[in-house]
Chain A
Amino acid sequence: MNAVLYDVALTGYIIATASALGYLLGRREGLWRFTILVTQAGWMVHTLALVVRGVELRRFPLTTLAETVSVVIWVAVLLEVWAERAYRVKVLGAFVLPVVLVLGLALPTGLRVLVLAPAISSVWIKVHVALALIGLAALVLNFAGAVMYLLQERQLKGKRPGNVYYRLPSLETLDRLSYRTLTLGFPFLTAGLLLGVFSAGKAWGSPFAFDPLALFSSFMWVVYAATLSGRAVGRWRGRRAAYFAIAGFCALLLMLGAGVMLQGRHGS
């Protein structure tokens, strides 16, 4: 049942992605409305899938990597719908949904259960995962904002307005969108990671031992922390901030990849 619901949701996201890209290229207002409708419908089915899974397993669906990524997608789509309205960026879907889709389609490869020592399956672990997830979802949007910024900047520097120029909002809006999603995601990420370190310390006595997921998370955190402080000081904005947002997202993908491929405390 849950698998069927999940497939329906994913199909919804596939259709929404195609129609969002179609809107970016062809600019039919009808396509935009259709995209929003399908995205929201997909998200609701997704919600249902998560609930059903939770009820079936009698636990929060946050234990396997697949579940985790599924929740990242769920939050990311929610944020996308919000940001699209808040920043009036009608083409946002064309940049966020493909990322969502890639993550969603990659799910089956990560179906492994993260087997945790019973000693550490405390409530703090769940909070650790949940916080980190919200952070990651916001950073998906941060990435989309950065990509849009670079595209629009290229159009403006190149002085040959194309389709993208007419569709994308101003550099200012895109920069604000990236900054906002970074300031939204980073505290969650930081709190999530700190809780992880704290829990690890409690479970194994030492918070720092070799664990690929933890290692790459720290790396990712450093990149985002650098971006944020660069922005706060006021030197990094625009293009430079966008490059860092993309670097941060690469680290994020590396982290997920490491979680799937390598052995460590997070699972075997």
Chain B
Amino acid sequence: MGTLFVAGMNHRSAPIEVREQLALEEDKLRGILADLTDRGLCAEVMILSTCNRVEVYGLADVPGEARAAAFRGLGAARGVSLQQIETLLYSKTEEEAVLHAFRVAASLDSMIVGEPQILGQVKDAFALAQSCRTVGPALHALMTQAFSVAKRIRTDTEVGRHAVSASYAAVELARKIFGSLEGKAVLLVGAGEMGELAARHLQEHGAMPVYVANRTWSRAQDLAHTLSGTAVPYERFAATMAEVDVVITTTAAPEPIVRAQDVERALHSRRHRPLFFIDLAVPRNVEPAVNDLEDAFCYDVDDLRLVVEANLRERQKEAQRAEAVVEREVAKFVVRLRDLEVVPTIVSLRDKLEAIRRGELDKALSRLPAASDETRKVMEALSQAIVNKVLHAPIVKLKNSSREGHHARFTELISELFGLKRSPQEREP
């Protein structure tokens, strides 16, 4: 029946220089998938190729051979030999392979735990393999379960919440202060790239209007244009603070340009609605004393970095909860998978006996043209009962043996005894 396996490299096992050599375009991957199944090395196979990992998932009689062939193929395109990368590869089979697949899909194996892209990438890899007809019941079951586990972890834990970039952390902080950012006004002072990015993130969450101030009037106008905002004269930015909710500063000024006394005046005239300063400049643009003012909050780059670190720790904590979920799911899935391996044998055994029963029943009934409906019914029931009684013991035995992991002997034996044709590897329609 073959062994479920995964083999590959990720951001921990291999440096980027190697991973990028193996990142191939779709056409080449199709070729490799077809090659692996055509040569009978894999009964089922799919390849996941992202910038952080290159992995082969499949079902093979000899996983080692399949792995060697797959990575020889992957390396061939850029002239990388198997020997060069062999030591960077990891391999997992059966239960461990299932665990790995679930962890990858749920983004627990990612460089940034909880990053959302990986699930889509796994889905794409699966779709590619499906279109190449290299997906069978085992991979199909594995991946659909992996997707549902990943989805559950996303909704039940906070592993994907909390920003991991400074500009996004700033948005989250703003939301912790203002609730919704809908209609909150933003003032961007200076033309730093990070400031522009933060302003854009705020806009995506509904913040508007955006004012831009810069020592150079034309640059203020340009930036205002790209952000669909309004340029304000640099001299007026302190006065504008009274009308906005978030102030982003990114100027190269050597001294703080936002003074506590100006902020105090602004707060007074805005009746102490909160004012949030995101100071992305080094040296800082906002006087530290500003944060001590009531209803003013000021975060500089170091503060944002600390928030991001705290967020990452928070994600790690959630990841531990997610790992527990994954472990439970793996245990459940392995039982299902083993059942799956004996199902074809059970089905063909049933079909075989059913065919015999039908044939013999028809023969008998043809010899009894005068038989009443009742007689027919009794004979039908009788033959069915015999078949079911005969089938009962072998089916139970097969299922038990599969759960104990030594079903191969029994499937073979039963196929031999009953003269069943070994069904060719079933493929997904």
Number of chain A interface residues as a range: 20 to 34
User: Inside 8 A of B274's CB, which chain A residues have their CB?
Assistant: 171, 238
Candidates B271, B295, B303; contact of A234 at CB < 8 Å:
B271
With A161-B307, A161-B310: A171-B176 Cβ-Cβ less than 8 Å: yes
Whether B295 and A172, one on each chain, are in contact in the complex, defined by CB atoms closer than 8 angstroms, is no
CA distance A234 to B274 in the complex (A): 13
Number of chain B interface residues as a range: 20 to 34
CA distance A236 to B273 in the complex (A): 10
Q: Is the interface of A mostly helix, strand, loop or mixed?
A: helix
Within 121-145 of A, Cβ neighbours of B (below 8 Å) are at none
User: Inside 8 A of B177's CB, which chain A residues have their CB?
Assistant: 156, 170-172
Whether A170 and B179, one on each chain, are in contact in the complex, defined by CB atoms closer than 8 angstroms, is yes
Whether B273 and A29, one on each chain, are in contact in the complex, defined by CB atoms closer than 8 angstroms, is no
Whether A238 and B272, one on each chain, are in contact in the complex, defined by CB atoms closer than 8 angstroms, is yes
User: Inside 8 A of B173's CB, which chain A residues have their CB?
Assistant: 156
Q: Is A266 an interface residue (CB 8 A)?
A: no
Q: How far is the CB of B371 from chain A (nearest CB, A)?
A: 62
Whether A165 and B176, one on each chain, are in contact in the complex, defined by CB atoms closer than 8 angstroms, is yes
Q: Is A169 an interface residue (CB 8 A)?
A: yes
Whether A170 and B294, one on each chain, are in contact in the complex, defined by CB atoms closer than 8 angstroms, is no
Residue of A nearest to B180 (CB): A172
Q: Is A59 an interface residue (CB 8 A)?
A: no
CA distance A156 to B296 in the complex (A): 10
Q: Is A178 an interface residue (CB 8 A)?
A: no
CA distance A237 to B176 in the complex (A): 16
Whether A160 and B179, one on each chain, are in contact in the complex, defined by CB atoms closer than 8 angstroms, is no
User: Inside 8 A of A234's CB, which chain B residues have their CB?
Assistant: 271
Q: Is A159 an interface residue (CB 8 A)?
A: yes
Within 220-244 of A, Cβ neighbours of B (below 8 Å) are at 234-240
Residue of B nearest to A171 (CB): B177
Chain A 71-112: CB-based contact to B (< 8 A → 1; otherwise 0): 000000000000000000000000000000000000000000
With A161-B307, A166-B162, A170-B177: A156-B272 Cβ-Cβ less than 8 Å: no
Within 160-200 of A, Cβ neighbours of B (below 8 Å) are at 160-162, 165-166, 169-173, 176
25 pairs, A vs B, C-beta closer than 8 Å: A29-B156, A156-B177, A157-B291, A159-B299, A159-B303, A159-B306, A159-B307, A160-B306, A161-B311, A165-B176, A166-B162, A170-B175, A170-B176, A170-B177, A170-B178, A170-B179, A171-B176, A172-B178, A172-B180, A176-B179, A235-B272, A237-B273, A238-B274, A239-B294, A239-B295
Chain A residues near B (Cβ < 8 Å): 27, 29, 152, 156-157, 159-162, 165-166, 169-173, 176, 234-240
